[in-house]
Amino acid sequence: MTRKKKRIPKLLAPVAAAWIEAVYALHTDNADVGSGWIIITENQVTLRNQKLGEESTGSVTFTKHEFARLARWYLRPQRTRSR
């Protein structure tokens, strides 16, 4: 039995790269954010504190689902506290 090959769309957000071929098809699977990196795999996102050419000083890894929840919370407008 052969597995049907998934078609990779022309435009694909890193969050939607849910299988390894899709991750490999991305223009880049990591992003330099100045003092660190965002690195994605097929099911995880890693935030690494590391300047280019230097040793890593720490990292945290989330599942893509957890990272998406974190990003939605961070981007969602919230009611401010009344004073």
Tens of pLDDT, residue by residue over 48-75, are 998 878 888 999 999 989 999 999 999 9
Top pLDDT among 62 and 27 is at 62
Top pLDDT among 4 and 8 is at 8
Q: Can you tell me the mean pLDDT for 10-14?
A: 83
Q: Closest by alpha carbon to 12, among 21, 4, 3?
A: 21
What pLDDT is attached to residue 30?
A: 81
Encoding tokens for residue 27? 């223009």
Query: Going along 1-83, which residue ranges are E strands?
Result: 30-32, 36-40, 44-49, 58-63
Residue 2: pLDDT band with limits 50, 70, 90? low
Predicted model pTM: 0.70
